[in-house]
Amino acid sequence: MTKPELFPRARRHALNAALGAVLALAGMISTPALADETHQEAPPVRSKSNDTYSEKEMVAEAGSVFGGAAQGMADAVHSVFKKYGEPNGFIKGEEASGAIVVGLRYGSGTLHMKSGGTAKVFWQGPSAGWDFGGNAVKVFTLVYNLPNKQTIYQRFPGVEGSAYLIGGIGVNYQQRGNVILAPMRSGVGLRLGASVGYLKYTKSREWLPF
């Protein structure tokens, strides 16, 4: 004797359609503000001594920002190099931010390019997610695949779920197209959360982060 179907075929189709709608809505909610940007992982940057920085150089530069070549800082730099290879630029700076679920972040620093030259840069942006607290920190950012200094002046969405704490240094990733930024932070009230947001890099201070 054939067992009766728990859900008739028509009802199964309706349930599948409803489930698809719920999943689509969840995807819309979890998508960052710049929904048209994709966050595909770029291939590691190969060693090019003339236009990229070595790990030893970046450990020394990061040490000058964070007050010494602590093991945690060296480990943080090594973890980024292991993932993306050698950067062709870096940013030394500082920032202040705060959040109760929704937060704001403001910073400033100097961009250094291996190909030559420096540029003043400011950044500001919102963040949202499971993220509470406040901080005032030094920031050291490794910059990958930046074709020129002017390209830094745009919005960089955060790569979702890419926040790490390595030896007291917070590391996360931002990406727009092929350009990848890897900010490292250490300071009072260090915040790390599963947050979704972006930073807008500009030539001068802008108080509205949008």
Q: Give the range of the structural domain holding residue 60, as residue numbers without chain letter.
A: 55-202
Helix (H) or strand (E) holding 139: strand 118-144
Q: Looking at the domain assignment, is residue 6 inside a domain?
A: no
Q: Looking at the domain assignment, is residue 146 inside a domain?
A: yes
Q: What is the pLDDT of residues 162-204, one digit of tens each?
A: 777 787 788 889 999 999 999 998 765 455 544 557 899 999 9
Position 78, amino acid: H
Q: Looking at the domain assignment, is residue 10 inside a domain?
A: no
Q: Looking at the domain assignment, is residue 24 inside a domain?
A: no
Question: Is the pTM above the cut of 0.85?
Answer: no
CA distance 126 to 99: 9
Number of domains in the chain: 1
Q: Looking at the domain assignment, is residue 5 inside a domain?
A: no
Q: What is the pLDDT of residues 35-92, one digit of tens each?
A: 333 444 444 444 455 799 999 999 999 998 887 656 788 899 999 999 999 999 999 9
First to last CA, the chain: 65
Alpha-carbon distance values, 41 to 38, 65, 119, 147, 162 (Å): 9, 27, 27, 18, 11
